[in-house]
Amino acid sequence: MVWLIVLAFPIFFGAMWVGIVSFLSWASGWRTLARVYQAELPETFAGKRLMLVTLGRGRFPRVHYRGMLWAEFGEDTLWLKPHILFRWAHPALAIPRNVITLDERKGFLRRYVELTTRADEKISFHLHPKQVSWIHPGSGPGAAS
């Protein structure tokens, strides 16, 4: 009987993890973005860890990807790579700069940058302004795109 529990626990835990990660991918909109922007990362990928990121449709619900995404703001492409534990339902993304809209906004407690794409304008990333290298200090709302 003990061997059955020892065998069943990893299978149950793995199935739960796959279900949770798949749900987060759907709830955040990552699955929708992946249909359009999924790509293989280049060998030269040198992304930086994003510590404050939320992704979702509208204001609620938003999925918090704190420390679980790496991003590289290239000259003409935003590359996003999730942590290995999330790659089951979160493939790497390559979003062209010409389909991205950036707006600096004032939230309740802090300023943030809202990043939307043409794939689905209801899905938006909320990032700390210091994480977005395409935003220059002193640029106002809607100035960067």
Domain total in the chain: 1
pTM summary value: 0.83
- Is residue 138 in some structural domain? no
Q: What are the pLDDT digits (tens) for 39-67?
A: 999 888 988 999 989 999 877 789 999 99
Each residue's pLDDT expressed in tens, for the chain with a length of 145 residues: 788 888 898 999 999 999 999 999 999 999 999 999 999 998 889 889 999 899 998 777 899 999 999 999 988 999 999 999 998 899 999 999 999 999 999 988 889 999 999 999 999 999 999 998 886 544 444 444 4
Q: What is the pLDDT at residue 138?
A: 45
- How many helices (H) and strands (E) in the chain? 2, 9
- Is residue 19 in some structural domain? yes
Q: What is the pLDDT at residue 140?
A: 45
Q: What CATH number is attached to the domain comprising 12?
A: 2.30.29
Specify the 3-state DSSP secondary structure of 110: coil
Q: Which residues contact 93 (CB under 8 A, 6 or more apart)?
A: 30, 33, 34, 37, 38, 39, 78, 79, 80
Q: Which domain covers residue 107, as residue numbers?
A: 2-131
